[in-house]
Amino acid sequence: MNLKTPPSSSRLEQYAELLKQAEAMFAGERDFIANAANLAGLIYYTLPDLNWAGFYLFKGGELVLGPFQGKPACIRIKIGQGVCGYAAEMRKTVIVPDVHKFTGHIACDSASNSEIVVPLIKEGRLVGVMDVDSPMFNRFDEEDKRGLEKLGELLLEDSDI
């Protein structure tokens, strides 16, 4: 599996390739944690300009750190707090161009400057969130939103949870 997407490729092409790679990785594997761990690695090592990619899982009324790539992170996040908690509460993808301007931002890594969080919802229930951070400001856009949402949907479809 080639984890390096050519820098000249468009975001649309990058996400199309990521989706193909994720489908191949998930083939024959239904374990959610295993698939989430591989997806975190795939995103982190394929998309440019990231410093964290991973998952927080909804357990006991809060978000608990799950599989990820990057520096150690906050372990528990209350629903409604920070970008992850807000996305989970609102059940919608949140793009934050400058995390320092997001009221209540939780700074797990001071190097993060922008963030996108995709809620993972299966059969109407919150499973968790996919969280991706960048040291660049304004790193994420609508193409990232669409691409990451498709990856999240694939993870939920191809995993038992």
Is the residue at 3 inside a domain?
Answer: no
Is the residue at 61 inside a domain?
Answer: yes
The pLDDT of residue 1: 44
CATH classification at residue 89: 3.30.450.40
Contacts 24+ apart (CB under 8 A), 60-66: 63/88, 63/128, 63/129, 66/33, 66/36, 66/128
Q: What is the pTM of this model?
A: 0.93
Domain membership of residue 30 as a residue range = 11-157
The pLDDT of residue 8: 54
> Does residue 2 surpass a pLDDT of 50?
no
What is the C-alpha to C-alpha distance for residues 38 and 1, in angstroms, rounded to an integer?
Answer: 12
pLDDT in tens, 115-134: 999 999 999 999 999 999 99
Average pLDDT of the residues in 60-86: 97
**Beta strands at 52-59 and 76-78: parallel, antiparallel or unpaired:** unpaired
The SS3 assignment for 138 reads coil
Count of the separate structural domains present in the chain: 1
The pLDDT of residue 140: 98
